[in-house]
Chain A
Amino acid sequence: MRTLTRFLLTLVIASQYATAAQVKDLEYGGILFDYYQQDYFSALVQYEYANSQNALQHHGNEARLLKGGMTLSYGIAGQAEDIFSQLLTPEVAAEQRNRAWFYLAKLYYQKADTPRAAHALMQINGQVPQEIAGEYNYLATLINIRNRQTDAANAGIDQLSDNLRFQPYLIYNLAVSQLQRGKTDEAMANLNRVMTAAVTHKSEELAVLADRARHALAQLEMTQGNLLSAWNYLQGVRTTGLYSNRALLTYAWAAIKLKRYSDAVPALRLLDQRSITIPETQEAKVLLAHVYETEGAKRSSLKQYLLAEKSFKEGLNAIEMARKVIASQEIPQEFVINLEAMLDESDWYGMQPSLDYNKLTPFLTELMASNNFYSVIKELRDLYGIRRNLQFWQMQIHEHELIIRIRRDQTGMEKLMADVNASQKQFRFYKDGLMEQKLTTLTLSERDQERFTSLWQNTQKDLELVGDKVTQVAAIKEPYKLSYQLQARSKKLAAQVEQELSNTNSLIHSLEKVMRGVITAELDKHEERIRYYWAQARLGKARLYDKALNNIEDSSSGAQQ
């Protein structure tokens, strides 16, 4: 690990700024155009095409390296590993070899093979290429954190002090790792560093991370019995945003434990107004009623229990609706295709999702954040893309066959040649006519001649273009005939498209089944939770009725006595 630290130190020299790629082959530029738009499929097809046309001569290993990166991003990890491994030979330029080692390290890290990732990073000699310097430091520090090399990790974090994209996350990860090892004080210090970073540099992303850090700190303080400190941290968490629900609930619980019931009420009320699909809201509904009950506000408590029951009923109806939505035939496809739009990453012309996600997605927020589910969605998205691509080629091939058939049955050459002869005659006639007109204009005054000059020049230019084309067509001895080879090739490719389309559909079917299963399990989880809180609300209501009955009995027996 010492070696890793040493390399990190050398990286300070490397600039963080990426420069534009130098393109020496146009087709290579075409690959980059798709690659930079993260359209890896098109970029890979463009690579294969350019390579088959021998159009990557000036970018040999660079292009192969790029292909490795693209295959990795497109989820063909096996091939990516092969490509990178082939670029580790001494014949490959040092910069490209270093890049290959870096991408291999990244690949191994993604596979959770930290020792091999660390080994690959250590093979990088000399200066790290500028474009990957930041990512290199990030990866090296992550590996150091995972290997519990705190000093090396801290050194890496310090070197990334001007990189807000990476540094706060690394500090947070280090804190989590320290917590796992029981180093609570150090973890808390690092979580505080995350909060400070968010205060210094305002951005939504950092604000979310800071909320997470505050919440974690509050939980730690509560575990240690420092309710007031926890309370202070929780007061800093924003009441909107990703972590606000959990924070509001923890805030309310902290208040209850401090017996400051009235302080818990606003947080619970805020949660109570939110969607019933949020687990914290479900808990808050019952908890709010309980707080009222504890404070002796029986009417408010009963009203809250009754309202909670109504909300839970609505929640269960919504789950039922979501089950129906996901059972529909086309939903997985629409769900995956519109995922970006749902996550507010719509494209520049403002694509609108075509599915009523309000019925489905609120229950799946947690699920969508999980890596496993995301992997399924990513694979499905790629498969749908492949299916669309093959369907497009199916149509194209149909048109190709039509063109091939028409060209093979090419007739009417005699008529074409007669038309060409007629055109040639006509062209000569116009050309002579134009010359005559020019001569006529010479008899005019100089001023009048000038008026005709541009008209004459334009007409001559047009005539020259037409003449050029007529000569070209006249030079044709026989019509262009397609080779039989091309016809056979087209048929073979058509069969391949059919076959791959069938394979794609079969894989889509299998993955859709997996996806439906996972979503159903998630909906079951929601249903179980809602039913639990519904039961709590009913019991709370019954308890209040019971107390009321006892009071009536007591007062009536008192009156009788």
Chain B
Amino acid sequence: MRFWALLSIFISCFVSAPLLAADANIDFGQQKSEEKANKAMSEVQRLSGNIQALKNRVITLNKDLRVMEEALLFPTNTQFSVFVAVEGGQFFTLESVKLKIDDKMVSTHLYSAKQREALNRGGVQKLFMTNLSEGKHEVTAFFTGIGPNGRAYKRAAELTLEKGKASQYLELAITDDRARQEPVFSINQW
């Protein structure tokens, strides 16, 4: 009984004041956490110069590697690149593109919403790069997507070209025909 009596006194001394106010003012290691965060921030700032320099160097290195790789794999006299561009895009939502060169399927691409938006805003996608010999070649592109009035749309464009000695660029273009209210698909040489 004596133990319970003592415990009772202890509890009345220390516990008799129940929660009466919100605990918003209690620190709960907030200060320590903030100190740690500030210390971390100054460490990040200290490293920031090195990180920025590294980023710069790696970008230049990537450029050099790409130039070297192209020189190795796609020499200028045989290089052949195909790009995709959208102008307008009001009457067609691009879902996929398939590319055939000389009757061989060489590339297919399925577009994400982000990529579609980038194309609609003026971005140009490098779809395919290869080596082509000089002479006549046939290029066919198939475009799949949603056309006017939400209908599924599949169209093709074809071009026969004479590959010269220099590198060559093709543009698979999707434009709007406002008069006919429908998309136009074409292959242009640059």
Using a CB–CB cutoff of 8 Å, the interface residues on chain A facing chain B are 18, 20-23, 26, 28-30, 32-37, 41, 44-45, 48-49, 52-53, 74-79, 249-250, 253, 279, 283, 286-287, 290, 293-294, 347-349, 370, 372-373, 375-376, 379, 382-383, 386, 389-390, 393, 396-397, 400, 403-404, 464-465, 468-469, 471-472, 480, 482, 486, 489-490, 493, 496-497, 500, 503-504, 507, 510-511, 514-515, 517-518, 520-522, 524-525, 527-529, 532, 536, 539-540, 542-543, 546, 549-550
Nearest Cβ in chain B — how far from A131, in angstroms?
10
Residues of chain B lying within 8 A (CB to CB) of residue A520: 36
Q: Is B154 an interface residue (CB 8 A)?
A: no
A-B contact pairs, 19 of them (CB 8 A): A23-B85, A29-B83, A29-B123, A33-B118, A33-B125, A45-B63, A48-B59, A79-B52, A250-B22, A347-B114, A373-B37, A376-B41, A386-B55, A393-B65, A517-B40, A521-B33, A524-B32, A542-B11, A543-B18
Are A539 and B36 in contact, CB atoms less than 8 angstroms apart?
no
Nearest Cβ in chain A — how far from B62, in angstroms?
4
Nearest Cβ in chain B — how far from A257, in angstroms?
9
Nearest Cβ in chain A — how far from B118, in angstroms?
4
**A510/B71 contact (C-beta < 8 A), A37-B118, A283-B23 known:** no
Q: Which of B19, B37, B113, B121 contacts A521 (CB 8 A)?
A: B37
Residue in chain B with minimal CB distance to A286: B19
**Number of B residues contacting the other chain (C-beta, 8 Å)?**
79
**A21/B121 contact (C-beta < 8 A), A507-B54, A514-B44 known:** yes
Per the bound structure, the CA–CA distance linking A286 and B171 in Å amounts to: 68
**A465/B112 contact (C-beta < 8 A), A32-B124, A376-B40 known:** no
Per the bound structure, the CA–CA distance linking A382 and B29 in Å amounts to: 31
User: Considering the complex of A and B, which 8 residue pairs feature the smallest CB-CB distances, nearest first?
Assistant: A29-B124, A21-B122, A33-B123, A521-B36, A36-B118, A48-B63, A525-B29, A32-B123
Are B30 and A372 in contact, CB atoms less than 8 angstroms apart?
no
Residue in chain B with minimal CB distance to A520: B36
Q: Which of B26, B55, B67, B112 contacts A382 (CB 8 A)?
A: B55
**A37/B114 contact (C-beta < 8 A), A517-B40, A546-B11 known:** yes
Q: Is B130 an interface residue (CB 8 A)?
A: no
Per the bound structure, the CA–CA distance linking A348 and B32 in Å amounts to: 40
Q: Which of A279, A348, A524 contacts B33 (CB 8 A)?
A: A524
Residues of chain B lying within 8 A (CB to CB) of residue A517: 36, 39-40
Per the bound structure, the CA–CA distance linking A379 and B171 in Å amounts to: 37
Are B52 and A518 in contact, CB atoms less than 8 angstroms apart?
no
**A493/B133 contact (C-beta < 8 A), A347-B112, A372-B37 known:** no
Are B124 and A33 in contact, CB atoms less than 8 angstroms apart?
yes
Query: What 8 new A-B contacts, CB under 8 Å, besides A511-B47, A515-B40?
Result: A29-B124, A48-B59, A48-B63, A76-B52, A283-B22, A518-B37, A527-B29, A528-B29
**A497/B61 contact (C-beta < 8 A), A32-B123, A32-B124, A76-B56 known:** yes
Q: Is B158 an interface residue (CB 8 A)?
A: no
Residues of chain B lying within 8 A (CB to CB) of residue A468: 133, 135-136
Residues of chain B lying within 8 A (CB to CB) of residue A529: 26, 28-29
Per the bound structure, the CA–CA distance linking A532 and B27 in Å amounts to: 11
Interface residues in B147-182 by Cβ distance below 8 A to A read 169, 171
Are A514 and B40 in contact, CB atoms less than 8 angstroms apart?
yes
Residue in chain A with minimal CB distance to B120: A20
Residues of chain A lying within 8 A (CB to CB) of residue B44: 372, 375-376, 379, 511, 514
Residue in chain A with minimal CB distance to B115: A37
Nearest Cβ in chain B — how far from A509, in angstroms?
11
Residue in chain B with minimal CB distance to A524: B29
Residues of chain A lying within 8 A (CB to CB) of residue B73: 403
Residues of chain A lying within 8 A (CB to CB) of residue B124: 23, 26, 28-30, 32-33
Nearest Cβ in chain B — how far from A389, in angstroms?
7
Using a CB–CB cutoff of 8 Å, the interface residues on chain B facing chain A are 4, 7-8, 11-12, 14-16, 18-19, 22-23, 26, 28-30, 32-33, 35-41, 43-44, 47-52, 54-69, 71-73, 75, 83, 85, 87-88, 102, 112-115, 117-126, 133-136, 169, 171, 190
Nearest Cβ in chain B — how far from A334, in angstroms?
20
Are A44 and B59 in contact, CB atoms less than 8 angstroms apart?
yes
Residue in chain A with minimal CB distance to B35: A521
Per the bound structure, the CA–CA distance linking A45 and B136 in Å amounts to: 33
**A75/B55 contact (C-beta < 8 A), A29-B85, A510-B43 known:** yes
Per the bound structure, the CA–CA distance linking A378 and B52 in Å amounts to: 13
Are A472 and B133 in contact, CB atoms less than 8 angstroms apart?
yes
Q: Which of A250, A290, A524 contacts B18 (CB 8 A)?
A: A290
Listed residue (B7, B117, B122) with the most chain A CB atoms within 10 angstroms of its CB: B122
Residues of chain B lying within 8 A (CB to CB) of residue A290: 18-19
Per the bound structure, the CA–CA distance linking A372 and B119 in Å amounts to: 34
Residues of chain A lying within 8 A (CB to CB) of residue B4: 549
Residue in chain A with minimal CB distance to B23: A283
Are A75 and B118 in contact, CB atoms less than 8 angstroms apart?
no
Residues of chain B lying within 8 A (CB to CB) of residue A550: 8
Are B66 and A49 in contact, CB atoms less than 8 angstroms apart?
yes
Residues of chain B lying within 8 A (CB to CB) of residue A524: 29, 32-33
Are B26 and A532 in contact, CB atoms less than 8 angstroms apart?
yes
Residue in chain B with minimal CB distance to A518: B40
Nearest Cβ in chain B — how far from A301, in angstroms?
10
Per the bound structure, the CA–CA distance linking A524 and B68 in Å amounts to: 51
Are B43 and A503 in contact, CB atoms less than 8 angstroms apart?
no
Residues of chain A lying within 8 A (CB to CB) of residue B40: 372-373, 376, 514-515, 517-518
Residues of chain A lying within 8 A (CB to CB) of residue B135: 468-469, 471-472
